[in-house]
Amino acid sequence: MKRSSAVVRRVVLAAVSVALAAGCTAQAAGPVSGSATPSGSASAKPSASASGSASPSASPSASESGSATPEASPTADGKAPSSSPSFPTADPSDSASAGTPGSPVLMKDGDENEQVRELQARLRQLKHFDRAPTGFYGSMTARSVKSFQEKQGLAGTGSVDGTTWQRLLGASRKPTADELKPSTTNALDAPAPACMTGRVLCISKESRTLAWMIDGKVVSSMDVRFGSENTPTREGTFSVGWKAREWTSTIYHTPMPYAMFFSGGQAVHYSSDFAARGYAGASHGCVNVRDRAKLAALFDQVKVGDKVVVHW
């Protein structure tokens, strides 16, 4: 009888041990499927899901995709799968304290989409951003946003929350297609006085742009580069002496398509080197253009005798 009781006790203890082992395994798997653990993702903010929800009622066991359903199973590295929203996510812990507590972040460093492009275009209208919109939110955009926020009396966080966005919408207008994707990398410089009358190729060394102007109005514009210190592009007021759709330099033996000569051997022309290397190179004194299609259209409009102004 004693031996029988001992056997029963051993069977019961074995069963309890198995049950306890199974319980620990299930508990350990819980955090991996959703909650942030020291060995999980860098984010330790269980109250916000990657789907953009900023609800304080979100439980720590919610998965990063915003759903606690069995489909959100851990990946091979032990992390929960994250969603790929088309717009920046809203995280209350990233909110900019700009007078609206809990206002979610709409755009921040590292984002890349068309909303960022619009942001940059609007900031450029207000002189807070001096480059062509790229759609990528980097350090330059963050500094521009901070500058706008401080001017508006908001906290200079460098990230765009709801309050900052609404202020920007109110202070700017809807960007045009050319403002969103401008024809030049740099903003056009203020034209020299000599550019304000007649038909003029108004070329600024300061902004490195060429503006085709008629009676003071810009018809088209494009990026340009100039000669080096050893072969500088001459400054002053000139006129187009002659044109050549196809031309090869008799000195340097390089192609000069759509050449419009204005000062001796110096001309406005297309440069494949400029198109490939950008401002890393320089011309031998000519005004290089890298947009072949735009220059081809301009070539057909410019007439011999039209004015050329090269200025700072």
Strands 307-311 vs 199-204: parallel, antiparallel or unpaired: parallel
Provide the whole-model pTM: 0.50
Across the range 230-256, mean pLDDT stands at 95
**For range 64-71, the mean pLDDT:** 35
> pLDDT tens for residues 262-279?
999 999 999 999 888 888
**Residue 193 phi, psi dihedral angles, 5° rounding:** -55, -35
pLDDT at position 301, please?
A: 98
**Sequence-separated (6 or more) residues with CB below 8 Å from residue 22:** none
Q: Please, which pLDDT band fits residue 10 given cuts at 50, 70 and 90?
A: low
According to the model, what pLDDT value does residue 93 have?
Answer: 40
Please report which confidence band the pLDDT of residue 30 belongs to, taking 50, 70 and 90 as the band edges: very low
Q: What's the confidence (pLDDT) of residue 265?
A: 94
Residues 6+ apart with CB under 8 A from 126: 148, 168, 171, 172
Query: Rounded CA gap, 169 and 270, in Å?
Result: 39
Ranges of H-type helices in the chain? 2-32, 114-125, 139-151, 162-171, 177-180, 272-277, 292-301
Say how many residues make up the chain. 312
Q: By C-alpha distance, which of 269, 302, 312 is closest to 199?
A: 302
Under the banding of pLDDT at 50, 70 and 90, the label for residue 19 is very low
Query: Do residues 198 and 183 make contact, with C-beta atoms less than 8 angstroms apart?
Result: no
Q: Three-state DSSP class for 191? A: coil
Say if residue 125 is exposed, middle or buried (CB neighbours under 10 Å; 0-12, 13-18, 19+).
middle
The pair of structure tokens assigned to 210 is: 């060429």
* SS3 category, 101: coil
183-208 burial: b if 16+ Cβ within 10 Å, else e? ebbbebbebbeebeeebbbbbbbebb
Residue 293: the pLDDT is: 92
Burial (Cβ within 10 Å: 0-12, 13-18, ≥19) of residue 9: exposed
- In angstroms, the CA 289 to CA 226 distance is 9
pLDDT > 60? residue 15: no
Q: Which one-letter DSSP state was computed for residue 210? A: E
pLDDT level of residue 38 (50, 70, 90 thresholds): very low
Q: What is the DSSP letter of 193?
A: G
Q: What token pair was written down for 200?
A: 């003029």
pLDDT tens per residue, range 168-225: 999 999 999 888 887 677 778 899 999 999 999 999 998 899 999 999 999 999 999 9
Least confident of 75-89, 129-143, 165-179, 265-279: 75-89
Backbone angles phi and psi of 222, in degrees to 5:
-160, 160
